[in-house]
Structure 1
């Protein structure tokens, strides 16, 4: 732990009295230290505010008046410590708070899992339903491949209350975290966890939806990640030399796992051109997202079976 030396970014923080003072300081600090964002929020204001509110055990729904709140000496020490861990040590905010949010749903997270963030948050209740018979109202079975914390399997179970949802991951530590989240969401009767490399160790089943946010970053990109992203399990990022290692296996195995009307939906990051080229014969469909990234592709069962 650094002391208050002249080079210490926290050397002159004793004068910061209110939460608003600390928030303004944190925003400038994030910018000056080139902190990587995107795991909890996409801008310094939102992430710093979240981290400060959580550290002070204040509601995330607090209105602007909370910024005038004066901090006690103990609170200032707590805030200084958590910002030091975030900005100097580059620990992701979600690992500091031990939680991540997808919409209204909270998930426990720690260093055993990638921090939940996915376009499926908007697509599961939106565009995805348009590809399902009866808009998914009679959907019976779904699976989340590379489930990590279990978050997407849980979102599927909440969205389709009659469905059984399998959740697969090769990582034992990740599945230990998924157990916590399935229990906290009280979905143990409908969300079933499997340790497996894609479908290798999963009992035979036919799925209406096979969904996945797999490792898709090319290895060379993973080698150059910012410290915050490097703090996450490499297994959750590294998709092999071209990013397609898991995706190829998933699409190959999906042929025998889909119901006749079933779909495979995969989040692929920046691989759209590569996917369109390699899997052109499968006619991938690209689902529109609010920010225009459109990085989630969908394959229909009849195309996969050729």
Structure 2
């Protein structure tokens, strides 16, 4: 369907509530995939309506009966068209996403912020990491910079090195670091894993690397085709990045340091390997794991 045809379908809509219901109905009928952010068709529709009106989704109950202008209606329906017909993720349509309670700029250069690591960052990786002992942090594969910012705020005494293989990605990460006034504490530079880190060592190394295996990549919903393949695909078994991380981390951890890595579904492939590393699998609040900690010499709980 062409954009002009789609926009004409909404000619009978008048108030904000009409548009919220219309988007919700169309998204549900189209069976859009909502796993990249807002989780339900209703939440996706309400977010698009609200932000196209320069409101927040929580503002909508107060204005549902308010009428929209012709220009506002076109902006909303254009967003619906991108979401339903083009299957473009809501975060990219809006140019923003939330992580750890913080708003970040996003576009198709970066993975949409979401991570199993989010609740563990908010907890400071306790009890495996002693927050007061963290002075140097390395984040590998920073993308939008959302995790680097969240880490800097959670560990206020630490500096953060945030690296990514893509210079274009780092341009957006720089924008987000500036947005949160953390230029003095976060250093961004290009690196393929540890390649540009030199002999630097850290108290804490954190990574949400690519971990989608070949079979899963072939079955991803259309929405995921808008995300950079480089940030998702990790070879036949999903371990193309995780195994080098494990092999090289020892040379970059300070005594008592910790490596924390999100593995997602690649956890199963990793568990099937006969690894010489004593991995600690964390229990996610929503159930399951998909995140491990590797402690160097007893971890940050040990006396220094």
Is TM more than 0.5 here? yes
Q: How many residue pairs align between the two structures?
A: 298
The answer as to 2:158 corresponding to 1:166 is no
The CA distance in 2 between the partners of 1:2 and 1:57, in whole Å, is 22
CA distance in 2, matches of 1:26, 1:51: 9
Structure 2: distance between partners of 1:2 and 1:188: 41
Counterpart-to-counterpart distance in 1, 2:252 and 2:140: 12
Specify the SS of the correspondent of 2:203: strand
Give the corresponding residue for 1:39. 36
Equivalence for 1:73: 70
Q: Which runs of 5+ in 2 are unaligned?
A: 300-304
- Deviation, structure 1 residue 79: 1.0
Residue aligning to 1:24? 21
Segments ≥4 residues shifted beyond 2 Å: 1-4, 10-13
> Does residue 207 in structure 1 map to residue 202 in structure 2?
yes
Residue 272 (structure 2) pairs with residue 277 (structure 1)? yes
Alignment equivalent of 1:15, drawn from 12, 16, 22: 12
Once residues 194 and 3 of structure 1 are traced to their aligned partners in structure 2, the CA distance between those partners, rounded to angstroms, is: 43
Structure 1 distance, partners of 2:183, 2:272, is 40
Deviation string 1:274-300 (CA, Å, 9 cap, x unpaired) is 222225432221212221132111111
The structure 2 residue matched to 1:294, chosen from 276, 279, 289, is: 289
More moved, 45-54 vs 123-132: 123-132
Name the residue aligned to 1:124: 121
- Deviation string 1:181-239 (CA, Å, 9 cap, x unpaired) is 11111111111112111001113222111100000001332233222111111000011
Of 254, 258, 262 in structure 2, the residue corresponding to residue 263 of structure 1 is 258
1:178, CA displacement in angstroms? Answer: 0.8
Q: What SS does the aligned partner of 2:67 have?
A: coil
User: Taking structure 1 as the reference length, what is the TM-score of the superposition?
Assistant: 0.92
Partner Cα distance (1:144, 1:177) in 2? 16
Partner of 1:83: 80
- Equivalent residue number for residue 109 of structure 1: 106
Q: What SS does the aligned partner of 1:302 have?
A: coil
Unaligned stretches of 5+ residues in structure 1: none
C-alpha RMSD of the superposition:
1.8
Give the alignment's TM-score, normalised by structure 2: 0.93
